[in-house]
Amino acid sequence: MQVFLQTLIGGVTFGAVYALVAMGFSIVYRTMGLVNFAHGNVVMIGAYAASNLYMFAKLPFPVAVAVAIAVTGLIGLVIERVLRPLENKDFDLMLIGTIGFGTVLEAGAIRVFGATGHAVPSPVATAPLDVAGIKIPTYSLVVIGVAAAATVLLGMFLQRTKRGAAMQAVAMDHEAATAVGIHVGRSNAMAFAIGAGLAALAGGLIGPMLYVSPTMGGSLGIKGFAAAIFGGFGSMRGAIAGGMAFGLLDSFAAGHFQEYSELVTFLVFAAIVMVRPTGIFGETTVNRA
């Protein structure tokens, strides 16, 4: 039972990070109907920015993550601005453009930071909590709490602010939103910036749990993308549910199948998606193709 609970805690912790990555994918897709294939590499840039500011610039960890969010938010704005002329003209070229941006970000990280990467010390020095013999890492509680707070804030923004309502309107009907005076380009830019910010938050949080390297974005991007599909692509609550489900699946597979864990995880994922292609909370989203 202790092993089960320990694995459960690890699964929830990584699931919280996957949920952040999945929400970043979903908010761009929900608003623009576009899959941002550079998203995983933005996670990597966020991890590098946060870890370097924390380790070498000696900024407090929360400040380092906040600066990383601002940096990647600007990257998101740049990506959207470059792709904007292609909207409603060449959707396939937009997709290829996001792949190109991802390649550039990875090559840039290798050029600036090197190809070897680095480990990040935990910003929480408190000893693990001992609950009935179960060791709960304090940093895991921080990750889960921060991810939960970010999720609540994002939900409040989308539901209770004018800009959030505008983004929702663009997601539901692009032409109708334009007709009532909503600036679609501004909403798209905001979606990219928020998605990139969520990516940086995920990267900053997962840095102390993984080895930060230029290639980490590939794995995290694929898992976040799978989590978004699992929950229902374009659904924010689906991204949360999918992230948690994928984190638990990944954690238990690693505990039982070790070197075959990735294979088992994606086989189970493929089987579930075959049964329910729209995901847990699948819903209709925009399609600009």
pLDDT at 216: 94
- The residue assigned the tokens 């009532």 is 180
CA dihedral 71, 77, 83, 86 (to 10 degrees): 170
As a whole number of angstroms, the distance between CA 57 and CA 55 comes to 6
pLDDT in tens, 16-40: 999 999 999 999 998 888 899 999 9
pLDDT at 113: 92
Tokens 């991007």 label which residue?
221
Secondary structure (H, E, C), 43-104: HHHHHHHHHHHHHCCCCCHHHHHHHHHHHHHHHHHHHHHHHHHHCCCCHHHHHHHHHHHHHH
Give the chain's residues under pLDDT 50: 284-289
- pLDDT attached to residue 288: 47
Residue with tokens 């707070």, as numbered in its chain: 149
The pLDDT, as a whole number, for residue 259 is: 81
Check residue 234 and report its DSSP letter.
T
Domains in the chain: boundaries? 2-275
Q: Which CATH number fits domain 2-275: 2.60.40, 2.60.120, 1.10.3470, 1.50.10?
A: 1.10.3470
The pLDDT of residue 289 is 44
Long-range contact list for 104-113, CB < 8 A, 24+ apart? 105/38, 105/41, 105/42, 105/44, 105/45, 105/75, 105/217, 106/41, 106/44, 106/214, 106/215, 106/217, 109/41, 109/44, 109/45, 109/48, 109/214, 110/214, 113/48, 113/52, 113/214
